[in-house]
Amino acid sequence: MSTIISQILTFFGITQPPQTTSEFLWDLIILFVGLFVVKWVTITVFSLMKDMMRLG
């Protein structure tokens, strides 16, 4: 399980493993916030594109 998480963190540019548990938790929080923002932006862009296609 931890190897998957470290691979994800490495993918997002967090290369060094966190030394303490709090750093690890902060990395997870940043990761989840980033994923949530990406999801929200994607949904917003798709709804905007749908509106534009309906209007145009």
Contacts of 28 (CB under 8 A, 6+ apart): 5
Question: Counting every residue, how long is the chain?
Answer: 56
Residue 40, pLDDT score: 95
Residue 1, pLDDT score: 58
Residue 48, pLDDT score: 93
Q: Are 12 and 34 in contact (CB under 8 A)?
A: yes
- Amino acid, single-letter form, for residue 7: Q
Per-residue pLDDT of 5-52, as tens digits, reads 777 767 766 666 656 777 778 888 888 999 999 999 999 999 999 998
DSSP state of 1: -
Task: Give me the number of domains the chain comprises.
Answer: 1
Range of the domain at 16: 2-55
Q: Distance (Å, rounded) from C-alpha 33 to C-alpha 21?
A: 18
Q: Are 25 and 47 in contact (CB under 8 A)?
A: no
